[in-house]
Structure 1
Amino acid sequence: MIFILICLLCGFMIIRNKGQKRFDWFVCAALLLSSSITILKSPQIQAHRFFILCYWLSVVVYKEYRHNKFPLLIPLIIYGAGEMFIGWQDTLLTSFYRLWKPFAFLLDSYLIMLMAFWGTKNVRINSKPIINTLLIMTIYGIFTLVIKNNPLQQFIWSRFSDATYLTDYYFGGRIRITSTWSHPIAYGFVCSTFAVLLLKYLKNKKCLITFILLVINVFICGSRTSLAALILMIALYALLEYKFSKLTRLTILLVPALFLAYLVLPPVQEKIDSIVNTAMGNSDVGGSSIEMRQGQLVASLMIFASSPMYGHGPDYIQENMMSNQRLMDQYFMRGYDFEGFECYYYILLIERGIVGIVLEVMLVVFILMYLIRNRKRNKQRSSEALMIFLGFVFFALSTGALDTWMFTTFFVGLCMNRIKNGEGDLLTKKTK
């Protein structure tokens, strides 16, 4: 009840405020309160979804959608209508859930982009509450590594989940840090996203310390994909932001430093070697390999073939396959091994079929085209949005989207607002 009351309080503060205060309450609440906290079971309203609903309500109450047309409204409407149509084809669900499940997915994903576009006027990412929250989150992440336990998540699991919190999974042979987030791999990408958003504020000492702690947490979250996504996003930021001459000088300075860090620091060497081994298809390093992914693709195509046009419906993998041990045993006996469906593409194949894949590709292309075409209009914001969105695409295709949709589409929507409407005055202020 205490956790639920805290979530309700945060939701109330999100609704009643606007501008920077609402932005701070939303970001800080989402960072500190895990999406594992369930406020309502049927239909399922978890903490993060509740905060999104509260933000939407605030945007509607203050009528912030007026005189601010979203540039990708038509593609988003087509995508949303298509997802609702796919959900309606799932005859295993009741009429309510055939509408609710696709709507809930839209609410948790691309509709956040529209919400942020309308509701982030004159806000800044380096505000004092957000920086302090990131410091608390990352320091707590290091603390869980030191004590080899996460008492906060263990308590939340014991109250809100039917599953058992597996300490050996998180702190066994391979360390997986979640801090205040719901999943270690997702936590790594969230840290990566905030790290790259702070790149332009590194002259501020507090922001620099926060950036360093975020990068450390990416290293200790136990995810090679999150680390690779961070490297990719920083590389994209450098390519998009700097001129060739400055980029060359930066490369000359950084390459020897990174090589020295690889030679001197065992954790850095271990992570880089792990990424290379996985890319080469070696499975002896733990986790996924190319060979394993090929097996997952074959298994996904087999299920896709039984319903290729519209797929098997939202949440089919989690609610109909994974919960049916007899069905999974039959697949295993036939030589198919899913290993967690570690790719968003596999989920699209099984749950949304050809129509869902076409819709997804269409919307992704429109987002990328808008950001690329408007680089001259606002180079900094288009670069930020491109780096975050492409980093997310890489992450989702590598290990699944998991619990990373919210901040990805939220910050892309914020950047799209700046591209269309210009920068706000508050963005020039610095963190004290």
Structure 2
Amino acid sequence: MSILILAFVFVISLAIVTTKGNRRLLLLLCGLFFTYDCVRVCRSPDISAYTTMILCFLLSLWKHGELKANWKTYPLRWVTIAISIVVFLVGLLDNRLNFVSSFSRPFKDICESYLCFFIGYASIKSLSDWEKSQEYLWNIFTFVGIWGLITFVLQNNPWYDYVTSMYGNEVGIWSEVQTRGYRVSSFLSNPIVYGFVVGVILINRTVEKIKGVYWAVALLFVANIVLSNSRTSYAAVAIAFVIMYVLRYRFSVKAAFAMFVLFGLSTVAYFNIEPFKNMIDLMSDLVLTGGANAGGSTTELKELQWVASMYYYVQAPWFGNGLAYFGEVIMEGGGGMSEDLAGMEGYVYKLLIEYGGVMIAAVLAFWSRTLWMYARYKKVNAPLSIVSISIVLSFLFFICATGTYGSVFVYTSIILGMNLKCLQTLSKESKHTPA
């Protein structure tokens, strides 16, 4: 069966190289959302299916003469170059790696993180392209959401179990870590990431009015967010919606009415829908006890993780201890403050331990520039600008609270890149140049 999965990756990758425009984007999205991120195209963990498809997308841009033009107009190119240089230096300075790995590991890291922003950016040429991309995401996740509901009814995800078992000695972790009740992840590898990504796609759709049958799909998405059974995804999606409403409506009567209706519906749902009640209980437990009663990460654990991260940071403050240092050295070797790190749930901890202070500065520059660009395009299209800002801030909250597991960087960055190119295109059409 692994041969069939690899054949799927090969066909998708080859098709991406040979096509362009909307069809190429659709192929990439199908490849990413229907291929678990554990899939590798060879024995090396540095050559994943995701990296292969992203590389093929870049190859297609070059083949069709689109790479240079897109890179030239890409407003985040310099900070992306800075981050890429730093990541390669982290790899080259890591004495644990051989010559090949010192390049292949940073390459995979960049391809599946900050470069995805450019991938999304380069996939859009016009407003119609962006609208088509939203249709693709909506249709793909309608199917993904239906499968999510089916797995909840089954209380099992047989496809996830089967695929992950082919790339390890046992089924994936989420088949066994279900102490809170079943957590839906559908075709994604992590229910925490799944709830957040579904929320991002739903929020992005609010740029345009949701009409007719799309309301049923929106409810399907909300159900899947709830069934992901993750406090972090609940909080991140809620943060995005609050920021979006505050920036768009401020404290208007419309916003107040919407909040009143939402509160009323939530009250009814709490007493009548068990999964929704569990969601509210998880959130309230986090506030009241720091998450002690729900399992998973607690505020006390976060404090221990911060102290432990600083312990390892001072050992290599400039360029970190190396990529995958947590999993390959701290977890395997134990000792030191490894137990206090637990699963190292948080991107900040990863930056401190594995990347170092120079990378932290580059990352701050990247996201500052990103937020600045979206804010400057507010006069071009306020709804899309505001939605993008809300997604960025909720995404930063999410990765700081949970980490970058489950390829959340890939999914979110591509969507944000699409939005950036759409705003830039609208700016050119309206002859408005952001200050």
Q: Aligned residue for 1:184?
A: 191
Which residue matches 1:306? 315
Identity %: 26
> Mean alpha-carbon deviation: is it higher for 386-395 or for 132-141?
132-141
**1:257 corresponding residue in structure 2:** 265
Partner of 1:116 in structure 2?
120
Paired position in structure 2 for 1:193: 200
Question: When the two structures are superposed, what TM-score results if normalisation uses the length of structure 2?
Answer: 0.89
1:414 maps to 2:379 = no
Pick from 335, 338, 343 the counterpart of residue 341 of structure 2. 338
In the alignment, is the contact (CA less than 8 A) between 2:385 and 2:423 conserved in 1?
A: yes
Structure 1 match to 2:371:
368
C-alpha separation between the residues in 1 aligned to 2:134 and 2:312?
A: 47
Q: How does 1:165-180 map to 2 (within 5 A)?
A: 165=172, 169-180=176-187
Answer yes or no: is 1:80 the counterpart of 2:84: yes
Count how many residue pairs are aligned between Structure 1 and Structure 2. Answer: 419
Matched with 2:381 is 378
Match of 1:228? 235
Deviation track 1:141-183 (CA, whole Å, cap 9, x = no partner) reads 1111111211101110221223444576254553222211111
Residue 168 (structure 2) aligned to one of 132, 143, 161: 161
1:391 matched to 2:394? The reply is: yes
Change (3 A) 1:206 1:121: farther
Q: TM-score, normalised by structure 1?
A: 0.90
Q: Deviations over 1:32-91 (max 9, x none)?
A: 221122112226322222221121111111122344411122222222222222222111
Q: Summarize deviations over 1:162-205 as a string: whole Å, max 9, x none.
A: 34445762545532222111112111222111121222455333
Residue aligned with 1:102, SS: helix
- Unaligned residue ranges in structure 1 (runs of 5+): 426-432
Gap regions ≥5 residues in structure 2: 430-435
Picking from 351, 355, 359, the partner of 1:356 is 359
**CA apart distance, 1:262:** 2.9
Judge conservation of contact 2:22–2:132 (CA < 8 Å) in 1: no
Secondary structure of 1:213's aligned partner: helix
* 311 and 127 in structure 1: CA distance in 2 versus 1, 3 angstrom threshold: closer
Mapped to 2, the partners of 1:79 and 1:417 lie a distance apart of: 21
Inter-partner Cα distance in structure 2 for 1:236 and 1:366:
19
Tell me the residue number matched to 1:429.
none
> Helix, strand or coil for the counterpart of 2:341?
coil
User: Displacement of 1:2 after TM fit?
Assistant: 0.6
1:331, 1:344 → 2: CA distance? 18
Task: Tell me if 1:328 matches 2:334.
Answer: yes
Q: Is the 8 A contact 1:296 1:338 kept in 2?
A: yes
Residues 156-165 or 230-239, more deviating: 156-165
Q: What CA distance in whole angstroms lies between the structure 2 residues aligned with 1:340 and 1:230?
A: 23
Question: CA separation in 1, counterparts of 2:213 and 2:36?
Answer: 25
| SS at 1:160 equivalent | coil
Give CA deviations for 1:342-377 in whole Å, capped at 9, x if unaligned. 111111110012112112112111111121122112
Q: How big is the shift at 1:131?
A: 3.3
Choose 310-319 or 97-106, whichever is displaced more. 97-106
Change in 2 beyond 3 A, CA 1:190/1:153: same
Q: Contact 1:126–1:198 at 8 Å: present in 2 too?
A: no
